[in-house]
Amino acid sequence: MPTPLTSAHRPMYPAAALFAALAVPLWLAQLGGLLPLGWSPAVHAHEMTLGYALAVVGGFLMTRLSRPMVAVAVLSWLAGRLALLAGLPAVLALPLCFAYPLLLFVVAGLPFLRTSRSGHNAVFGPLIGAFLLAEALFWAGQLGLLPDRGQPVGLLLVATLLLTMGGRVIPAATAGALRRQGIALTHRVQPRLEALGIAGAVLCLLSAITGLQPLIGAAGAMMAGTSALLRLARWKSLRLLRQAEIASLHLGYLCLGAGWSLSAGAALFDLPPAAGWHMLGVGALGILASAMTIRTTLQREAEPERFPPAATAAVGLIALAAVLRVAAAWWPSMTLLMAGATFWTLGQLLTAATLLTRPRRSRRGQDALQEA
């Protein structure tokens, strides 16, 4: 008998949401002196990107695995989180933290390189592999082998993945929703704007990795932000405000464009760097991860794609968290941080509850990326 295949989204999506709900309060508890975790800002950024975000990426891309392989993926991801939470020595924590991004590259990244005859999807293979580089840079910084570059490379990689993958998935979902209204989406692929965004993101990443030419990195971030905002402007968002499952994706992509632009403004106009980082991490990543995990779960479980009220509330709470956290970058305040963390945690808990309470039915034959 052939080995039955399953999707990693069932365990990985709720695990990601529950971890995100826990990680931010733990970080604030350390900042307030309540818990001596020993986490640096670099560890916090690492766990929200190479921990939370990569769990969502894995759930989205690892769609045809045996059950033992799904268990290996979940356990390797969990081992990396526990290693840093427990403060294990680097000789133990480092291999545990590398295990999951390596597995993700082998399972999901290499197939993109093997099967993409054109350049349309080939970009995703190197992008997924680059998270191994981000992990290496993190540990080089932790061990004192490299100076702190000042920019979270992992977050920029996540933002690049959202820019490219979101630029495929969101217009595909938008076109379907508009088609049901009798409206055609004429500006769907937009290859020139996509190329502009990818080129800008690469420039920004190279600047962050090397620590050289911050103005070039700022120009790249502005290119990426402009690409996202111009693409979004052609997706007829106002026609879809009553469809939360699509409107939330547009809101997340709006935060993505704004986050890239604010990151550029940090170098060009002396804006607070944390404003751009948290618009990307809390706004774009938080909203798009919550919306996509719920939406793809509904698709794969063959349920109606319309969001239940809890899903809409989850996205709204995370959006409020983003506004408050970005505001705290301009006006530092523990009150703003605590309020933002509260909304974030509630939004993530609602996301997890929505995912865990869905009935399990037969999986659809295609995943969202293939539909794009």
> Does residue 120 register a pLDDT over 80?
no
Q: pLDDT for 18-58, tens place per residue?
A: 999 999 999 999 888 888 877 888 899 999 999 999 999 99
Percent of the chain surpassing pLDDT 90? 73
Residue for token pair 């969001």: 307
Q: pLDDT for 269-309, tens place per residue?
A: 999 999 999 999 999 999 999 999 999 999 988 888 899 99
Query: pLDDT band for position 229 (50/70/90)?
Result: very high
Give 163-182 as a DSSP string: HHHHHHHHHHHHHHHHHTTT
List, in order, residues 6 or more apart from 180 with CB less than 8 Å away: none
**Counting beta carbons within 10 angstroms of the beta carbon of residue 242, is it exposed (0 to 12), middle (13 to 18) or buried (19 or more)?**
exposed
Of 128, 138, 162, 127, the closest CA to residue 47 belongs to 138
Q: pLDDT for 71-80, tens place per residue?
A: 999 999 999 9
Q: What integer pLDDT is reported at residue 267 of this predicted model?
A: 87
Calpha distance 201→156 (Å, rounded): 8
Of 285, 363, 293, 283, the closest CA to residue 317 belongs to 283
Write out the E strands in 260-351: none
pTM value is 0.93
> Does residue 118 register a pLDDT over 60?
no
H or E stretch covering 218: helix 214-233
**CATH tag, 5-371:** 1.20.210.10
Percent of the chain surpassing pLDDT 70? 92
Of 215, 162, 223, the closest CA to residue 193 belongs to 223
